[in-house]
Copies of this chain bind each other. A is one copy, B any other.
Amino acid sequence: MDYAARPDAEKSAVVLLSGGLDSTTAAAVALAEGFRVHALSFNYGQRHKVELESASRVAESLKLADHKVIDIDLRAFGGSALTADIAVPKSRDSAQMSRDIPVTYVPARNTIFLSFALAWCEVLNSTDIFVGMNALDYSGYPDCRPEFVSAYEQMARLATKTGIEGGPLTIHAPLMHMSKGDIVRTGLALGLDYGMTSSCYDPATSGQPCGLCDSCQLRAKGFAEAGAADPLLSRYRS
């Protein structure tokens, strides 16, 4: 399938793009569905800021219509290992991941990110947002669940100029019910080069993934299930 940017596409969509495996796949799906893709990333004090470089690589490689990086200071509130001086947990098994909300949870992060996406939608006269959220192989975050996305969509329809009568606004979460293996397979079928993405919560200064955080483990599981090699890892092999 061809995910090349379509400058003649009539519909615009805003895609939350972290530069990781999931959001990059969501962007490719949006392109494949014929949207002009406006990508939105956030510089929010995350320790894995290397993901912003990945997001830029992805936006350029997929020839997206636009890519904005918004500065927001989530450190003002504290409370997460991703933005504060708290250790990122390593080598948790899948039972732990699905049971506990980990310290890497950033309070209300997706609620905030979606709110900015909604603002951009209004300015673009767009009624479509794409997100990479996934409820199967995930880290136990409350704001990644389908019931959250559905409630957000209801709220967003009432929040906006176009939505004054509860008008159209769709939050597309095409990966919501996929396993990590399905996600990798979907992206590979769309021709994605996952070597330009990054997923690690706690990468080395070189960008090399730690291999042990939840995000690295879920990514490895995805490639194993899809029977594919992760091109990101071969970059760091000598």
Taking Cβ atoms with an 8 Å cutoff, the residues of A that contact B are 68, 70-74, 76-79, 101, 105-112, 114-116, 118-123, 142-143, 145, 147-148, 151-152, 154-161, 163-164
Compute how far the CA of A110 lies from the CA of B118 in the bound complex, rounded to whole angstroms: 11
| Smallest CB separation, A74 vs chain B (Å) | 7
A73, A119, A120, A148 — which one has the most chain B CB atoms within 10 A of its CB? A119
A115 in complex: contacting residue of B108, B122, B161, CB < 8 Å: B108
Is B71 touching A156 in the complex (CB atoms < 8 A)?
no
Is B155 touching A107 in the complex (CB atoms < 8 A)?
no
CB-based nearest B residue for A107: B122
Compute how far the CA of A58 lies from the CA of B113 in the bound complex, rounded to whole angstroms: 29
Compute how far the CA of A107 lies from the CA of B119 in the bound complex, rounded to whole angstroms: 5
CB-based nearest B residue for A78: B123
Is B73 touching A70 in the complex (CB atoms < 8 A)?
yes
Is A160 touching B118 in the complex (CB atoms < 8 A)?
no
Asked whether A151 and B154 contact (CB < 8 A) given A76-B70, A120-B77, the answer is yes
A-B contact pairs, 10 of them (CB 8 A): A68-B76, A70-B73, A79-B123, A107-B118, A107-B119, A107-B123, A111-B115, A111-B119, A151-B159, A154-B155
A111 in complex: contacting residue of B72, B107, B155, CB < 8 Å: B155
B residues in contact with A114, CB < 8 Å: 115
* Count of chain copies: 2
A76, A145, A159 — which one has the most chain B CB atoms within 10 A of its CB? A159
B residues in contact with A76, CB < 8 Å: 68, 70
| Smallest CB separation, A81 vs chain B (Å) | 13
CB-based nearest B residue for A152: B155
Compute how far the CA of A118 lies from the CA of B113 in the bound complex, rounded to whole angstroms: 13
Compute how far the CA of A112 lies from the CA of B159 in the bound complex, rounded to whole angstroms: 10
B residues in contact with A154, CB < 8 Å: 151, 154-155
| Smallest CB separation, A182 vs chain B (Å) | 24
| Smallest CB separation, A106 vs chain B (Å) | 8
CB-based nearest B residue for A145: B158
Is B164 touching A101 in the complex (CB atoms < 8 A)?
yes
